Amino acid sequence: MSQATAHANAEAEKNRRTHLGPGLKTVYGSGALVDGMTSTAINTFLFFYMTAVCGLSGSLAGASLVVALVVDSVADPLIGSLSDNTHTRLGRRHPWMLAAALPLLLSLGLLFSAPAALKGAALFVWLTLAAIGARVSLSLFNLPHAALGAEISDDYAERSNIVAYRAIFNILAAILCPALAYVVFMPSAGALLHRSGYVPFGWVCAAIAFAAAVASTLGTLGVLPRLHRIEKPAGQPLARFFREMAEIFRNRSFLILFVGSLIYFIALGITNTLGLHNAKFFWRFSNATLQWLTIAGAAGSVAGIPLSSFLQRFIDKHKLLMITIFLTCAGQAIVPVLRIVGFLPAGGPGLMIPIFVLLTLNGTAQVVIAVTYYSMTADAADEHELIYRARREGLYFAGLGFSQKAASALGAFIAGVALDAIGFPSAIAAKGANFHIPWRTSVELAVINGPGAYILMSSAAVLIFFYRLDRAAHARILRELSDRRKTESEHQAGAAIASTLAAD
C-alpha cells in the first residue's frame, strides 16, 4: 500500500468517527426509493399483470421471472466486484449509481407497456427482456448504494440507524407504489384486469425511481472523505473476480448470512408472486381494502424503525433476527388456516381486525429483519478486512443479492408451477364477469402462500443461530483494524522519510 493510500485511509477513519447529520442520512436514504418503487411494482403487480391481464400461463410467467432473476443474480457479483475495484475521483460507488438511472427508467416503463398484439412466445420475450433490464439496472444502482451505506460509518449502532433511513424511504415506496395502482390508475377492481392502467403506472414508478437515483447519487458526494481508499487494481479482472469470490465464501459469517438469505427468499419469492392472487381470490379483498392493508403494513413498518434501534441496545443483532423471523412466520402461517377451518368469518370486523393487526405487526417485523440483516452484513465486511486485508462491501452485498434473487427466482417458478398444478386460470378478464373460481382452488392457493411458504422461511432462523459476530466481537475487530491502519500509516511515513534522507 502506498503512503498516500495509507494516510488517506487513516484520515478517512477519523472522519468516520464523527456522526452523520440527519440531512445527509436523509439524502442517502432517499436512494431506497429506487429499490422500493421498482421492487414493489415488480413483486406486487408483475406476475398478476403477466397472467391475469396479459394471458401468459403461470408456468411461462414463472419461467420469465426465473430467467430475469437468474441473469440478474449472475450479474450481481460482477457488479459488486466492479464497485469494489473502481478507481475514480468520484470514488468506487457513485459512478455506477449514476450510470444506472436512465436504463432503469426505460426498462421499468417498458415492462408494464407490453403491446396488446403480442401473444405467447413474443409476449414472453418482451416481458423477459424488459424484466432483465429493470432488474440489472436496479442492481447497478442498489449494490453500490448499499455498500456506500456500509462504508460511511464504522459504528455498530449508527450503521443500523443509517439502514433505518433507507427503511423510511422503502416504506414510503411501499405506500406510494400501490396507491398509484389502486387509487390513481386502477381505482376499481375490474381495472386491475385491464392493460390501460398499467402503462402510466409503470412509467410514473420508473420516473420516481430515476429522480431518486440521480438525487441520492449527487447528494452524497460529500461523504467521499469518509470512504476507504484502494490502490488501482492490478492483474486480470476475471481472475481477480474469482479469487475474491472464493475469498468471501471462506468467511463463516458471510456463509451463514448467504445460505440463510437463500432459504428466506425462496419462501418470500413464493409469497410475493402469489400475494395479489391470494388477496383477490382467497381473501376477496376490494381495491380499497388492499390500499388500507398497505397503509396498515406501512404503519407497522414505521414503528419498526425506532423499535429495531431500541431492541439492538439490549439484544445482539443475530438473536434479534432469529426471534423476529420465528414470530413472523408463526403469524403468517396460522391466520389463513384459521380462515380455512372457519374460525375467522368470510368478511366483516371479525376478519378484518385480525388481518389488519397481522399486517401491521408483519410490517414492523419486516423492517426489523431488513435493518438487522443489512447491519450484520456491514459488520461481517469489517471482519473480512481484518482477515483478508481487503474491503469487500460491494461483493458482500452482491453475494447476498445473488442469493436473494436466485432464491426469489426459484420461489417465483415454484409459485407459477403451483398455480398451474392447482388449475388456477389465467386471462381472467376474458372469461367474463360471472366467471367463478372454486373455493377448493382458493384454499389450495392459500395453503401454498401461507403455511407452506412460512414453514420453509422459519428454517432460515435456525441457521442464524450459528452466527457468532456479536457486539463484543465487532468492537474487538474495529480496535484491531484501527491499530493496524495507524501502524501502516506510520510505517509508510517513516519509509518515505528514510527514502528522502537516503536520496540526499
Q: What HEC string does 25-37 produce?
A: HHHHHCCHHHHHH
| 58-85 helix and 94-111 helix, angle to the nearest 10 degrees | 170
**Total tally of structural domains belonging to the chain:** 1
In the predicted structure, residue 1 carries a pLDDT above the cut 80: no
CA distances from 280 to 43, 48, 107, 363, 446 (A): 16, 10, 28, 20, 11
Residue that the C-alpha cell 430475469 belongs to: 68
| Integer Cα distance of 482 and 466 in angstroms | 27
| Integer Cα distance of 395 and 79 in angstroms | 8
What values do phi and psi take at 230, rounded to 5? -130, 155
In the predicted structure, residue 305 carries a pLDDT above the cut 70: yes
| Integer Cα distance of 45 and 280 in angstroms | 12
- What DSSP state is assigned to residue 234? -
Full domain range(s) for residue 312: 3-219+235-499
Contacts of 473 (CB under 8 A, 6+ apart): none
**Could you read off the pLDDT of 446-460 as tens digits, one per residue?**
999 989 899 989 999
Of 41-55, 83-97, 106-120, 360-374, least confident by mean pLDDT is 83-97
Residue 242 lies in a domain: yes
Residue 230 lies in a domain: no
Residue 443 lies in a domain: yes
Closest-CA residue to 49 (of 156, 143, 140, 126): 126
In the predicted structure, residue 224 carries a pLDDT above the cut 90: no
229, three cell numbers: 481508499
Structure confidence at residue 494 (pLDDT): 67
| Integer Cα distance of 47 and 44 in angstroms | 8
Torsion sign over Cα 172, 173, 174, 180: positive
Per-residue DSSP letters for 136-163? HHHHHHHHHHHHHHHHS---HHHHHHHH
Closest-CA residue to 238 (of 77, 98, 417): 77
Q: In this structure, what CATH number is given to the domain that contains residue 260? A: 1.20.1250.20
Instruction: Over range 177-204, report the average pLDDT.
Output: 88
SS (H, E, C) 79-104: HHHHHHHCCCCCCCCHHHHHHHHHHH
Residue 125 lies in a domain: yes
Closest-CA residue to 389 (of 11, 86, 5): 5
| Integer Cα distance of 57 and 120 in angstroms | 9
Contacts of 110 (CB under 8 A, 6+ apart): 126, 130, 133, 202
Structure confidence at residue 496 (pLDDT): 60
Closest-CA residue to 413 (of 70, 35, 53, 37): 70
Instruction: Over range 227-238, report the average pLDDT.
Output: 69
Q: According to the per-residue pLDDT averaged within each range, which of 8-17, 160-169, 392-401, 486-495 is highest?
A: 160-169
In the predicted structure, residue 323 carries a pLDDT above the cut 60: yes
Between the CA atoms of 254, 147, 489 and 498, what dihedral angle is there, to the nearest 10 degrees? Answer: 110
SS (H, E, C) 286-331: CHHHHHHHHHHHHHHHHHHHHHHHHHCCCCCHHHHHHHHHHHHHHH
Instruction: Count how many residues are written for the chain.
Output: 504
Residue 81 lies in a domain: yes
pTM score: 0.67
53, three cell numbers: 391481464
Query: Is the CB of residue 383 less than 8 Å from the CB of residue 390?
Result: no
Residue 410 lies in a domain: yes
More confident residue, 32 or 191: 32
**Could you read off the pLDDT of 277-293 as tens digits, one per residue?**
888 889 888 888 888 88
In the predicted structure, residue 504 carries a pLDDT above the cut 60: no
Structure confidence at residue 63 (pLDDT): 87
Query: Is the CB of residue 488 less than 8 Å from the CB of residue 480?
Result: no
Per-residue DSSP letters for 45-58? IIHHIIIIIT---H
Residue 504 lies in a domain: no
Element (H, E) at 388: helix 349-388
How confident is residue 168, by pLDDT bands cut at 50, 70 and 90? confident
